[in-house]
């Protein structure tokens, strides 16, 4: 007797250990096609999202992450679907249930005034207005501020993004430029992101920018009044790319785009193949050189290799911080060992109450995750020796290129390169809260 599958409602949680309310279950997105019409003066966004997905279970309904927009229509496979939006969840009930393993498309039309999502720990996240333009800085959960999505770092997909806005403004989107069509007063910019990308790493930047190329496959977009400072500060970037490629393997994307906004920002922000700096981060004398290499390093660690769960955040920030020390060493500054000794003293003076491998949601971006993560890598380099350590790192970036990663996968790969168990080493440096001595 045949048994008919009973459609399940679908999960409104990703199961992430830190941010379970962000992201969804029951399906896997393969591609987003976004059409955005943005009016700068009124901060008004009218948009259509077409999402291609595969059901991972039988679905009678499913959810997407979308905040603070009026939804006017939802179609599933071309048929009108019932929907309701509560908080940042858009719950969709299709006219027909979707069988497990079936491909389906969702079309969402929505409009409103985009604004960042508020976070008590991390401030505003997502689409935000500039004095003259707009930006998207979405880490870790700001993507629903501008498009409906499965907002979880492991839910990587490809994208096509079309943005129409006022013609005097430049639009930059993470991905490769496809076309630009100018109308009477607006210009439509089209980009394609062909590499699987996490939702938080998709970005839109709108401003009155001029561009220059500091190196091959590199662009910097900057307000004209900041161009001279930016040209001086990013002149070192081509050498940084060469050094990091020697250490980490080939640069993982088609190009690297840096945007310098006319406004000041608290911190630079990474996106896929892109980094965004504030006006306060360029001064023409290289004061923030370490931030330049930190954001560049995220293209390998965080963007190409994306954490499968937010508790593994040290794999992003520890590697990017250690890249600062490695660049210092390679460029004639203090060696990594001196940076390690200096930061070991700083971390040792702080409370011993944080586990690098599981810092907790409130301390995901605690500076000790960054610095102790880098200290862990330096201690591992000392443990293995340079040859084995950098072979491990290049194997790591190659094996998981454009994929997702976990602490367990890294420690297992490290043990294979060491040719012995490293359980005790990682228990001390990653799992325990007491800071080990630095050899």
Query: Could you read off the pLDDT of 257-304 as tens digits, one per residue?
Result: 999 999 999 999 999 999 999 999 999 999 999 999 999 999 999 999
- Each residue's pLDDT tens digit, 36-88: 999 999 999 999 999 999 999 999 999 999 999 999 999 999 999 999 999 99
The annotation status of 344 as a binding-site residue, yes or no, is: no
> Of 83, 169, 370, 400, which residue is the catalytic one?
370
Q: Is 135 exposed, middle or buried (0-12, 13-18, 19+ CB in 10 A)?
A: buried
- Which residue is associated with the tokens 């930190």? 294
Kindly list the domain boundaries of the chain, sorted by start residue.
1-204, 209-299, 306-431
Q: What pLDDT is recorded for position 8? A: 59
CATH superfamily of 306-431: Neutral Protease Domain 2 (1.10.390.10)
The tens digit of pLDDT for each residue in 303-312 reads 999 999 999 9
378 labelled binding-site residue: no
Mean pLDDT of 136-147: 97
Rounded Cα gap, residues 339 and 51, in angstroms:
46
Place 5 in a pLDDT band, splitting at 50, 70 and 90.
very low
Architecture of the 1-204 domain: Sandwich (2.60)
Active site residue: 256, 295, 324, 400, which one? 295
The side-by-side arrangement of strands in the sheet containing 89-93 is: 62-65, 89-93, 82-86
CA-nearest of 135, 143, 266, 279 to 201 is 143
| pLDDT, tens digit, 9 for 90 and up, residues 94-112 | 999 999 999 999 999 999 9
- Assess whether 18 carries a catalytic annotation: no
Closest-CA residue to 326 (of 398, 399, 234, 246): 246
Place of tokens 């679908």: 10
- Is 289 in the active site? no
What pLDDT is stored for residue 7 in this prediction? Answer: 53
- Of 216, 282, 213, nearest in space to 245 by CA: 216
**339 is known to lie in a ligand binding site:** no
**In the prediction, which pLDDT does 6 show?**
42
pLDDT of 425 > 70? The answer is: yes
Strand partners, 307: 405
Question: How does pLDDT run across 234-253, given as a tens digit for each residue?
Answer: 999 999 999 999 999 999 99
- Cβ atoms of 316 and 304 within 8 Å: the answer is no
Q: Is 166 exposed, middle or buried (0-12, 13-18, 19+ CB in 10 A)?
A: middle
Residues in the chain: 439
**Does the domain made of 209-299 have the CATH classification 3.90.1300.10?**
no
């Amino acid at each position: 007797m045949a048994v008919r599958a009973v459609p399940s409602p679908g999960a409104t949680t990703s199961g992430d250990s830190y941010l379970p309310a962000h992201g969804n279950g029951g399906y896997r997105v393969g591609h987003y096609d976004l059409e955005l019409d943005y009016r700068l003066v009124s901060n008004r966004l009218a948009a259509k999202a077409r999402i291609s997905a595969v059901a991972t279970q039988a679905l009678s309904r499913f959810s997407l992450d979308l905040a603070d927009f009026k939804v006017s229509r939802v179609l599933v496979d071309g048929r009108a679907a019932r929907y309701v939006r509560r908080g940042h969840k858009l719950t969709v009930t299709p006219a027909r249930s979707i069988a497990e393993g079936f491909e389906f498309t969702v079309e969402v039309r929505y409009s409103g005034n985009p604004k960042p999502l508020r976070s008590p720990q991390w401030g505003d996240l997502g689409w935000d207005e500039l004095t003259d333009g707009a930006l998207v800085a979405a880490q870790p959960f700001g993507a629903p501020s501008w498009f409906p999505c499965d907002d979880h770092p492991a839910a990587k997909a490809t994208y096509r993004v079309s943005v129409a806005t006022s013609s005097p403004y430049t639009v930059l989107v993470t991905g490769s430029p496809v076309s630009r069509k100018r109308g009477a007063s607006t210009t439509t910019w089209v980009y394609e992101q062909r590499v699987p990308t996490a939702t938080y790493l998709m970005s839109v930047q709108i401003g009155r920018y001029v561009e220059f190329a500091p190196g091959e496959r590199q662009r910097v977009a900057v307000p004209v009044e900041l161009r001279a400072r930016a040209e001086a500060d990013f002149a070192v970037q081509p050498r940084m790319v060469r050094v990091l490629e020697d250490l980490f393997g080939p640069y993982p994307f088609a190009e690297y785009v840096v945007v310098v906004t006319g406004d000041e920002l608290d911190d630079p922000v990474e996106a896929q193949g892109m980094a965004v700096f504030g006006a306060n981060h360029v001064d023409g004398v290289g004061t923030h050189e370490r931030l330049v290499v930190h954001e560049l390093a995220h293209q390998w660690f965080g963007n190409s290799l994306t954490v499968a769960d937010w508790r593994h955040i040290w794999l992003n920030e520890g590697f990017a911080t250690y890249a600062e020390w490695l660049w210092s060493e390679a460029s004639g500054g203090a060696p990594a060992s001196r940076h390690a000794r200096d930061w070991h003293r700083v971390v040792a003076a702080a409370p011993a109450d944080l586990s690098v491998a599981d810092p907790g949601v409130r301390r995901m971006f605690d500076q000790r995750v960054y610095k102790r993560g880098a200290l862990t890598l330096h201690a591992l380099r000392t443990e293995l020796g340079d040859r084995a350590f950098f072979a491990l790192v290049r194997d790591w970036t190659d094996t998981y290129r454009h994929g997702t990663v976990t602490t367990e996968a890294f420690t297992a790969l490290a043990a294979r390169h060491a040719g012995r168990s490293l359980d005790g080493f990682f228990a001390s440096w990653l799992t325990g809260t007491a800071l080990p001595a630095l050899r």
